[in-house]
Amino acid sequence: MDTILVVNAGSSSVKFQIFAVDGDGRLERRIKGQVDGIGSRPRLRATNAAGEQLADRVFPIENVRDVPAALRVAGDWLRDERRITPLAVGHRVVHGGPDYDRPVLVDHDVVTRLECYSVLAPLHQPHNLAPIRTLLTNFPDLPQVACFDTAFHRAHGDLADHYAIPLRLHEEGVRRYGFHGLSYEYIAKTLPGIAPEIASGRVIVAHLGSGASMCALLGGRSIESTMGFTALDGLPMGTRPGQIDPGVILYLMAVKGIPAADVQNLLYRDCGLKGLSGISNDMRELQNSTDPKAQFALDYFVYRAALNAGMLAAALQGVDAFVFTAGIGENSESIRARIAERLGWLGIALDPAANARHAQQISRPGTMPVYVVPTDEELMIAQHTLSLLWNRHPSTQTKKRAS
């Protein structure tokens, strides 16, 4: 069985999925798993496509102290117990910088260039690259593909792409990249099958999770996003502040005397819902809390989401549909309802019953269509990986278009 391995590595976990490839190039998810608790309580868990448990085992801390060790645990299990040797590996890489506007086959030179962007995505980029380096060293002939969260937004026009700074800085790469591109790309490709009458129109997509952003789609292409140079911008997130006056950063460093590294840590780890509430970065915990600060954090999140939707509506010069996706967007009927209520001026009105049962379309008849569409970044990565594999080896037996 030909397979594609998809890897999404973070600081404390390595998530992986296995997709089978049939003779017509169709992809079928076979295994979904992760090694989490890296360096603390390492645990391998995996299920099949039906959600049935395939593995659940713990390991001594000294055996899984870092991401490469976690990748080795997952790889050994896949190879030795599942008899899986993938054709190629696809990786989520958060930042592609100005160099990469599409997925790319990885070599040591590519990794070196991508390491330069670690400062722009310190929570993600170093961990995204760690398994790539490990596989390059241990399996140099195994094709690897880097798929970038920034790539889908690289078609932005100049007005959306620039900051009001000297052009030389823009030319050096200081520009608005946008993130969560793999998620938005999946939604853009899925919408024609859900609502063909609006898929080619003006759509706002809200990717709401621990990391949160929104995107304006016009004809299935990204024309504006709430995130910019880094994944700190736009909406408030679990631990990131979203939009913030740059003067605040200057104040913290120049007046408060906080070192740059500590300011970076504050912005990435101690702000957002966590900072506002002083309780948690988890939306579920905040919704279950009776603490007024938790309620304020939720109010702030909803308020800022509605403000940013207004900005994207202006970029689109009108809106034909609205889509919720990602963890909060797909699962929190109350957050969806509260955001929709603030966007009534756009013609949005939810059907409470449809919203409560997480229906695909949750808007009332005769109002702007609002959809809940589960995202699938891993499938996008697998598709890109397979496409680049064909381009590299056009004589392989599996060479028809991916579905």
Residues annotated as catalytic (active site), given as ranges: 149
**Which residues, at least 6 apart from 294, have a Cβ–Cβ distance to it below 8 Å?**
277, 279, 280, 285, 286, 287
Whether 127 and 72 have beta carbons less than 8 Å apart is answered as: no
Q: Measure Cα distances from 296 to 9, 40, 157, 269, 334 in Å.
A: 32, 33, 36, 19, 15
CA distance 93 to 78: 22
Phi then psi for residue 324, to 5 deg, are -100, 140
H-helix or E-strand containing 276? Answer: helix 272-277
**Mutual orientation of helices 181-194 and 377-392 as an angle, nearest 10°?**
100
Give the chain's largest Cα–Cα span: 64
Q: Dig out the tokens for 9 from the structure.
A: 């590595």
**Which residues, at least 6 apart from 249, have a Cβ–Cβ distance to it below 8 Å?**
263, 267
Closest CA to 329 of 145, 180, 195: 180
Q: Dig out the tokens for 354 from the structure.
A: 């449809």
Whether 312 and 214 have beta carbons less than 8 Å apart is answered as: yes
CA distance 362 to 359: 6
For the chain, how are helix, strand and coil distributed in percent, rounded to 5?
40, 20, 40
Question: Strand 88-93 vs strand 2-9: parallel, antiparallel, or unpaired?
Answer: parallel
Closest CA to 323 of 363, 357, 284: 363
Q: Dig out the tokens for 174 from the structure.
A: 């200081």
Torsion of CA 62, 106, 138, 40, to 10 degrees: 10
